[in-house]
Structure 1
């Protein structure tokens, strides 16, 4: 399989983004999507969704014996109505208004978490987190932080594995919405296929990182990535509002 210089750069970006998400649990979409879009807009959102989902497949297959499916199940169920509400809001509310509201809400949630206020991990909180992850993921393409903030006090591997299980079931919902709206072309199969080695390499590098940098908590990284996600969404809302 031959790669152009731009595709090699995209492969490097995918590898780095997958490395972060495979270690922390979130971050691939936030880090990779803006850079890939600059290379070729066709990378977003289809290939980014598919590649992130493939990482979830790899993580879940590797960690299937230690996954607590029963605990994450309420979040998986709640993502469906959340995704539906996100699509409904997109039809009835200006996208920049959603970005402003959700970006500000996420920043507030990150600030409260940094002040040691937070929800305990329970079926009720996971239901709320799964709902808002589906809503945010559909409305703004940033769906990881609501779940990650719930898992910030859990051991890093537990957070990573259960968030991966959540996205394993939840991401296909977004992919089906893309297929229903624009057909297979929106998933850009050729670009996606060429980036798959980046998923495998990024995951392999994350395993090597775990052996060298043995840290049980990903809380600082989760708060940092969540704050960055909120800032990106908020900035999108501000620029879109000023332009409109």
Structure 2
């Protein structure tokens, strides 16, 4: 299989995003999606979502004996109506408006969290977080922070494993809802296949990192990645709202 310079750069991006998410629990979509989009817009959202699903599958297979499936089940079930509502919103509300609302709401949630307003990891809160993750993930392609913020006081391995299980079930739901709403016309299998070596490399590197750095408290990392996610969502909303291409054409006329 021939790899162009752009393909090699995509491999590096996928490997880096995989390394972060396989160690922390979130971060692949945040790091990979905007950079891969610059290389080839066809990477987003189908191939990025599918690569993220494969990563979740790898984590779940390796950590299946340490997973508390019963605890994370409410979040999985709530993701379904959340994803449906996200796809429905896209039919009636502009994506840039949703990005502004969700980005601002996420920043507020992060601020409250930083002020020690904590939520217990129970079935009710998991259901709310799962619903919001599905809603935000389908509408903006950034669905990790709503569920990750609930796990910020858990150990790194517990957070990573249960978030991976959540995405294993939730990502196909989002893909189906996006397809129903016309948001995913095709998966882009050639791009996925070419990027797979980068995913396996990143996953292998995460295992090496785990054997060297066994940090258990990842609250700061989760908050940092969540702030970046909110910033990306807000930036997308602002850019789409301004519609710079349209403004430029009006200026020229």
Q: TM-score with structure 1 length normalisation?
A: 0.96
- Contact 1:15 1:198 (8 Å CA) reproduced: yes
Aligned-partner Cα distance in 2 for 1:193–1:122: 38
* Aligned residue in 2 for 1:196: 196
1:35 to 2:35 alignment: yes
Poorly superposed stretches of 4+, deviation over 3 Å = 177-185
Alignment partner, residue 44 of structure 1: 44
Contact 1:79 1:170 in 2 (8 A): yes
The aligned counterpart of 1:10 is 10
Question: Secondary structure in 2 aligned to 1:186?
Answer: coil
Q: CA deviation at 1:185?
A: 5.8
SS at match of 1:119: coil
**CA spacing shift, 1:165–1:12, aligned 2, 3 Å:** same
Match of residue 250 from structure 2:
none
Per the TM alignment, residue 241 of structure 1 is displaced from its structure 2 partner at its CA by: 2.3
Q: Residue 101 of structure 1 corresponds to which residue in structure 2?
A: 101
Partner of 1:217, secondary structure, is coil
Q: What are the Cα deviations for residues 49-102 of structure 1, in whole angstroms up to 9, with x where unaligned?
A: 010000000000000111000000000000000011111111111222211111
> In structure 2, what is the equivalent of residue 122 of structure 1?
122
Counterpart for residue 65 of structure 1: 65
1:240 maps onto 2:247 in alignment: no
- 1:37-186 correspondence runs (5 A): 37-180=37-180, 186=186
Name the structure 1 match of 2:205: 205
Question: How far does residue 116 in structure 1 lie from its aligned partner after superposition?
Answer: 1.2
- Assess, with a 3 A threshold, how the Cα gap between structure 1 residues 110 and 98 changes in structure 2: closer, same or farther: same
Structure 1 residue 181 displacement after superposition: 5.6
Report the CA distance between 1:242 and its aligned residue. 2.7
**CA–CA distance in 2 between the matches of 1:49 and 1:198?**
15
| CA RMSD, 1 decimal | 1.5
- Displacement, 1:115? 1.4
Q: C-alpha separation between the residues in 2 aligned to 1:19 and 1:112?
A: 28
Say if 1:178 and 1:186, in contact at 8 Å, map to a contact too. Answer: no
Q: Distance in 2 between matches of 1:238 and 1:38?
A: 18
Work out the CA distance in 2 between the residues paired with 1:186 and 1:30.
21
Which shows bigger deviation, 213-222 or 231-240?
231-240
- Measure the CA separation in 2 of the matches of 1:125 and 1:185: 34
Larger radius of gyration: 2
Assess if the C-alpha contact under 8 Å between 2:155 and 2:217 holds in 1: yes
1:218 is matched with 218
Q: Cα 1:88–1:181, aligned 2, differ >3 Å: closer, same or farther?
A: closer
Deviations 1:123-171, CA, capped at 9 Å, x for gaps: 0000000000000011111000000000000000000000000000010
With the length of structure 2 as denominator, give the TM-score of the two structures: 0.93
Structure 1 unaligned blocks of 5 or more: none
Q: How many residues align?
A: 244
CA distance, structure 1, for counterparts of residue 185 and residue 92 of structure 2: 26
